[in-house]
Amino acid sequence: MRRGIVACLLWPLSLLFRALAWLRRGLYAAGWLRSTRLAVPVIVVGNIFLGGTGKTPLTIWLVEALRQAGFVP
């Protein structure tokens, strides 16, 4: 399979990302990094795409639904 020029240019960055992700997982597994519990629930609306996927309308709908259910954003 032939790779495009963009894929070839991004390949070194992917190796760096992979190494950093591996290191981060190792630090959590070793106990050097710890998760933090927050006092309030957190909802994340997102994905890897920019624009045009409906995140803003979904967020507006979600906030309104939570307000009607008695939550205060």
pLDDT digits (tens, 9 = 90+) for 48-61: 788 888 899 999 99
- Return all residues near 53 (Cβ < 8 A) that are at least 6 apart: 47
Q: Please state the pTM of the whole predicted model.
A: 0.56
Distance CA(56)–CA(17), nearest Å, equals 28
What is the per-residue pLDDT across 4-55, written as a single tens digit (0 to 9) for each? Answer: 888 999 999 999 999 999 999 999 999 999 999 999 889 999 887 888 888 9
- Amino acid 36 reads T
CB 63 within 8 A of CB 73: yes
